[in-house]
Amino acid sequence: MARPDKAAAVAELTDAFRDSNAAVLTEYRGLTVAQLKQLRRALSGNATYAVVKNTLTAIAAKQAGVEGLDADLQGPSAIAFVTGDPVEAAKGLRDFAKANPALVIKGGVLDGRTLTAAEINTLADLESREVLLAKTAGVLKASLFQAAYLFTAPAAQAVRTVDALRVKREESAEVAA
């Protein structure tokens, strides 16, 4: 029978997996407590970072319906449960790992899909959600302007043709008079 403290830890991890839209598994061996505190501060707002036990995490992941983390659950592990923007959290982890090589990104899960460390780095290379939305809005606005131009072009051409005919008639009337 499982001990109550372990059952509570599994339940807490299961809830964290269910409540987050992504999770990034890391190895923190060699980081000091101050560095872990700095990492948690860097991730605040987008993710929570917790040191976990591999066996309990594997059980919690299965209970939450998350597959594919078992291979990465080796050695000292910690998980960043992302509740905000996954791109911002991936950038925070990548930047911290560059400054502190002891932090190793092992893999993760995004919306139920297993990610490798390389895929998480690719995710971190994406622009933020706001920038991508602004670019999309710009493309849509440009398309609307182009459509408006295409709709008004025949009418504008007809107006220019009529005006040219009017000017030509006036000139021919002046020449005849």
State the residue for tokens 């990465």: 72
Whether residue 159 has pLDDT greater than 70: yes
Nearest C-alpha neighbor of 77 from the set 92, 58, 101 = 58
Q: What is the mean pLDDT of residues 117-146?
A: 83
Strands 77-82 and 22-27: antiparallel
Q: Which tokens is 37 given?
A: 């505190």
Once rounded to an integer, what is the mean pLDDT over residues 111-117? Answer: 85
Phi, psi torsion values for 128, nearest 5 degrees: -65, 165
* pLDDT tier for residue 1 given thresholds of 50, 70 and 90: very low
